[in-house]
């Protein structure tokens, strides 16, 4: 087994773990997942580029956002804590809290400089082609959802004990 995963990228490894766990929970609708929170002690190179969102996409959770957490040796533990706090605060009921580390792969790049996953080459090319033709300056005004925005979530209702 020693070195058996050396050829496996950390994003692919984490996505495999997430898919396997979700497959073991057929009663859970993946559409109910609020967020994928992923710990990584060295979020650079192949483990960079907000790996949590990449893992969500690779695991088939296309509509699930992702956040990568770096707390070195306790990154995965921190993701569990963050998910538990979010559930307790009423921000959702289903979160994926996970972690991945691929020390054998560190040779493939430091923070956000390593090779990208080739599955995203087409999307990166689209972004590059659109970026070169965009000339208007971007302004954040109106970028944040308001209660009347079509993409805004309805306000949370809090239990009476929280009032």
Chain mean pLDDT for the chain: 83
Structure tokens at 16: 């495999």
Identify whether the C-beta of residue 99 lies closer than 8 Å to the C-beta of residue 70: no
Query: Looking at 17-21, 110-114, 122-126, 142-146, which range is the least confident one?
Result: 142-146
**Which residues neighbour 112 within 8 Å (Cβ) at sequence distance 6 or greater?**
44, 45, 48, 49
Query: CB-hemisphere CA count at 13 Å for 23?
Result: 8
Place 41 in a pLDDT band, splitting at 50, 70 and 90: confident
pLDDT value for 134 = 60
pLDDT value for 102 = 83
Place 137 in a pLDDT band, splitting at 50, 70 and 90: low
């Amino acid at each position: 087994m020693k070195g058996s995963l050396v050829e496996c990228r950390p994003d692919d490894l984490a996505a495999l773990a997430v898919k396997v766990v979700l497959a073991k929970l057929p009663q859970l609708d993946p559409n109910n997942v609020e967020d994928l929170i992923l710990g990584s002690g060295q979020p650079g190179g192949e483990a960079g580029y907000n790996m949590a969102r990449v893992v969500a996409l690779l695991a088939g959770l296309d509509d699930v956002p992702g956040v990568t957490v770096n707390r070195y040796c306790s990154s995965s533990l921190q993701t569990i804590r963050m998910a538990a706090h979010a559930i307790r605060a009423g921000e959702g009921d289903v979160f994926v809290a996970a972690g991945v580390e691929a020390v054998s792969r560190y040779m493939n790049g430091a923070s956000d400089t390593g090779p990208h996953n080739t599955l995203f080459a087409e999307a990166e090319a689209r972004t590059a082609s659109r970026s070169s033709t965009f000339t208007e300056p971007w302004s954040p005004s109106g970028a944040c959802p308001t209660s009347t925005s079509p993409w805004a979530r309805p306000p949370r209702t809090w239990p009476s004990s929280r009032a």
